[in-house]
Amino acid sequence: MNMASPGDLVRTVAEVLGMPSASVAWYDRMLQEAGLRSKSGRGSGAARLTARDAANLLTALLASKQPKEAVDTVKLYAATRPDRAQSSKKAFAGAGLGETAKLPSDHSFIDALEALLLSGIEGDLATWIAEHSRGKRGRKPMPLFEVAASMPGAVGDIRLAGILEGITAQVRYTTPGSQIESGPSPDNDDADLAQSRSVTARTIIRIADLLAGRGD
């Protein structure tokens, strides 16, 4: 049963990303204040962190230059949709993870990231990890995942491979239409600098292990 606290998530994410815990905690606080993260509490009635909470935090860290942009960034990426012209023909279907394959056609980048985390908590990815836990030299073999987001603007990519041999699925996410074209503006509007950050299956599995209550 998931009993992970916001502090647990902050520490885990900071460790796996190699970021200062104080910086990750600042992003987390911005999301909590905006209602984009379950509120913590005490006792049996305390809210438990969800895969959506973790997906929001990870998106903010990937696509924001600074904590004050976290809320706008998460809202921006929640408005993205798959770009069919730049994605695998069957999207995530056939890649071996039912949780991502079952996503509706109009899902967002954050929806997909949430589904991927849910798969690692108690779905197909969790089953795959358990079945392959006796890898070479006792180490878990990692699937070949890449979750990437850009800044400024909102272009996300999720690539899944290594679950089924020879099968790769990739979906690109962009904001449809022109109503939301760019993300939080840099301090210098004329700055000609774009950045992209990405994480792999290592991050997804570490967060899923935390939320599932699994040890290292």
The ranges assigned to domains in the chain are: 6-212
Distances from the Cα of 65 to the Cα of 23, 68, 70, 143, angstroms: 11, 9, 8, 28
- Least confident range from 42-51, 81-90, 145-154, 169-178: namely 42-51
DSSP tag of 182: -
Distance of CA 150 to the CA centre of its chain: 13
4/146: higher pLDDT = 146
pLDDT value of residue 61: 97
pLDDT value of residue 179: 43
| Among 16, 208, 210, residue whose Cα is nearest residue 126 | 208
> Is the predicted pLDDT of residue 143 greater than 60, yes or no?
yes
Helices (DSSP H) in the chain: which residue ranges?
6-17, 21-33, 51-63, 70-78, 98-101, 109-122, 124-131, 201-212
Which DSSP helix (H) or strand (E) runs through 82? strand 81-82
Percent of all residues in the chain with a pLDDT value above 70, rounded to a whole number: 84
| Among 100, 105, 114, residue whose Cα is nearest residue 84 | 105
pLDDT value of residue 13: 98
| Interval 142-168 mean pLDDT | 91
pLDDT value of residue 189: 55
Interior angle at CA 187, CA 182 and CA 192, nearest 5: 65
Split at pLDDT 50, 70, 90, the class of 195 is confident
Contacts of residue 174, Cβ cutoff 8 Å, sequence gap at least 6 = 80, 81, 83, 86, 154, 155
pLDDT value of residue 152: 80
Whether the Cβ atoms of residue 14 and residue 20 lie closer than 8 Å to each other: yes
Question: Which token pair is 104?
Answer: 């509706």
Q: What is the mean pLDDT of the chain?
A: 87
| Interval 151-170 mean pLDDT | 90
Whether the Cβ atoms of residue 94 and residue 167 lie closer than 8 Å to each other: yes
pLDDT value of residue 23: 97
Distances from the Cα of 3 to the Cα of 9, 42, 57, 67, 125, angstroms: 11, 11, 18, 26, 20
Burial string for 193-216 (b: 16+ CB within 10 Å, else e) reads eeeeebbbbebbbbbbbbbbeeee
Torsion of CA 111, 112, 116, 122, to 10 degrees: 40
Interior angle at CA 121, CA 161 and CA 130, nearest 5: 65
- Least confident range from 1-15, 58-72, 102-116, 179-193: namely 179-193
* Per-residue pLDDT tens over the stretch 21-55: 999 999 999 999 999 999 865 554 456 799 999 99
